[in-house]
Amino acid sequence: MKRWLARLFGATPAGPVDHPPFPSSLPVADSLLTSGADQPGAPDLDLAFFHWLAGPHIAGAAGDEALVLDELTRLARDPQAASALVPRVPAVIPQVLRSLRDEAGSSADLARLVAQDAVLVAEVIREVNSPYYQPGTPVRNLEGALLLLGQNGLRMLLARVAFRRIISLQTSRLARLVAPQLWSQSEKCAQAASLLAHGQGADPFEAYLAGLMHNVGLIVALRVIDGLVPSGGLPDSDAFGLRLVHAARLISAGIAAQWELPPAICHAIAHLGDAATPSSSLPAVLGEADRLAKLHMLARGGQPAFVSAAASLSAELHRIYATFNDTDHADQDA
C-alpha cells in the first residue's frame, strides 16, 4: 500500500501515456474470453457490448462517424481537454488516501478528513449500513463506519464513491442515459480485477482503481457524440463501434495521467488486454476483468452465445463471475 501511495502522491507525477497507435480499423476477435471459452467465430465482446449500449439510442447517420472519430482522436492526444468533459475526483479523496500512509493516524483523523465532504459522509454511512456490509448494529457516525471498514475497505469504498459520481453525474443526454450500464460494468470490472490481481502479481488496489477508471473515456465519447451528431443518437456500424471503444480507452488513460494516477494504471488502460510481462501483469488482468464483466452483463440478457460462454468459464473465472450477483444486489439495496 505504501508503494502505491508513494507513487500516487510523491514528487514525480505520472508521465505521458505510451499510447498504442490509433488504428484505422480493428479486427474482430475470435473468442469471447482469452482464457475462458474459446469459440471460433463468436462475436467480439467489445463490439457486442457497444451494440448493447447503443441499441436503444441509435439515430446517428454514417456520415457523422468520421466527425466523431476525428474529435476523439484529438482528445486522445489532448488529455487536458478531455478531462474538462468529466467531473474531477473530489479533492477530499486524495487527502484521505494520503493520510493512510501515516500508521499513527487514528480513525478520528480520517473521519475529520472525510467530514469535509458532506455528500461523501452520507454515502459512506449509507453504504456501511447496507446488507452488503451487514453491520451488527446500525452505524451512525464516521468513526464507526471507518472502524467497520478498515483501511482496505475504506480506500475501496472511497474510490467507488468517487468514480460513481464521475460516471453517473452527467448532463449530456446520451451520457446520462448510458451511465447506469457503464457504472455497473465499471464496478464489476474493478471487483474482478482486484480478485484476479492476487494470483497474477499485480497490485489489487491498482487493479481495482484501473477497473473503475477505464470507462471514463466512454463518457467523454458520449458527450462528444451529443455535441456533434445533430440527431443526438449513436452511429452503430461495427467499424465505428470498434474504433470508438479503442479511442475511449486512450482517452481514459490520458485522463488518468492528467489526474496523476499511478503510471501503472495509465499504462494498463491504454494497453488493456496485452499479455503479461515480467514488468507488469496489470494490462492482462484488466483485460480479463473487463471481458468478464461485459460477459456477465450480456449473458443476463439471455443471448445464447454469451450464456454458453459464461457456462464454459474455468473454475477460477466462474468463482469471480459469481460474485457479480452480490454487486448487483448491493446496487439494488443502495
Report the distance separating Cα 196 and Cα 191, nearest Å: 9
Q: Which domain holds residue 145?
A: 89-168
Single residue among 145, 168, 191 that ends a domain in this structure: 168
Report the distance separating Cα 295 and Cα 37, nearest Å: 11
Residues 18 and 154 occupy one common structural domain: no
Q: What is the pTM of this model?
A: 0.81
- Residues 278-305 have a mean pLDDT of 91
Task: Give 271's DSSP letter.
Answer: T
Task: Quote the number of domains for the chain.
Answer: 2
Among residues 240, 224, 258, 227, the alpha carbon closest in space to that of 50 is found at: 240
User: Quick check: helix, strand or coil at residue 217?
Assistant: helix
Task: Give the other-Cβ count within 10 Å of 11's Cβ.
Answer: 5
Residues 318 and 240 occupy one common structural domain: yes
Among residues 146, 152, 161, the alpha carbon closest in space to that of 198 is found at: 152
Among residues 222, 258, 328, the alpha carbon closest in space to that of 83 is found at: 258
Residue pair 32/45 in contact (Cβ under 8 Å)? The answer is yes
b/e map 124-136, b = 16+ CB within 10 Å: bbebbbeeeeeee
Judged against a pLDDT cut of 60, whether residue 35 lies above it is answered with no
Residues 209 and 220 occupy one common structural domain: yes
Residues 38 and 101 occupy one common structural domain: no
Q: Which amino acid is at 328?
A: D
Judged against a pLDDT cut of 70, whether residue 21 lies above it is answered with no
Judged against a pLDDT cut of 80, whether residue 138 lies above it is answered with yes
DSSP E strands, the chain: none
Residues 220 and 317 occupy one common structural domain: yes
Residues 72 and 180 occupy one common structural domain: yes
User: Quick check: helix, strand or coil at residue 310?
Assistant: helix
Higher-confidence residue: 44 or 58? 44
Task: Give 188's DSSP letter.
Answer: H
User: Quick check: helix, strand or coil at residue 122?
Assistant: helix
Residues 37 and 146 occupy one common structural domain: no
Q: Which pLDDT band holds residue 73 (cuts at 50, 70, 90)? A: very high
Q: Position of cell 460477459?
A: 295
Residues 42 and 97 occupy one common structural domain: no
Q: Which pLDDT band holds residue 54 (cuts at 50, 70, 90)? A: confident
Residues 111 and 45 occupy one common structural domain: no
- Paired with 58 in beta bridges are 234
Residue pair 54/241 in contact (Cβ under 8 Å)? The answer is yes
Q: Which pLDDT band holds residue 116 (cuts at 50, 70, 90)? A: confident
Report the distance separating Cα 3 and Cα 120, nearest Å: 26
For residue 103, the model assigns a pLDDT of: 55
Terminal alpha carbon distance of the chain: 28
Chain segment 144-194, per-residue pLDDT in tens: 887 888 766 777 887 888 788 788 777 778 888 888 899 999 999 999 999
Residues 93 and 66 occupy one common structural domain: no
Residues 182 and 94 occupy one common structural domain: no
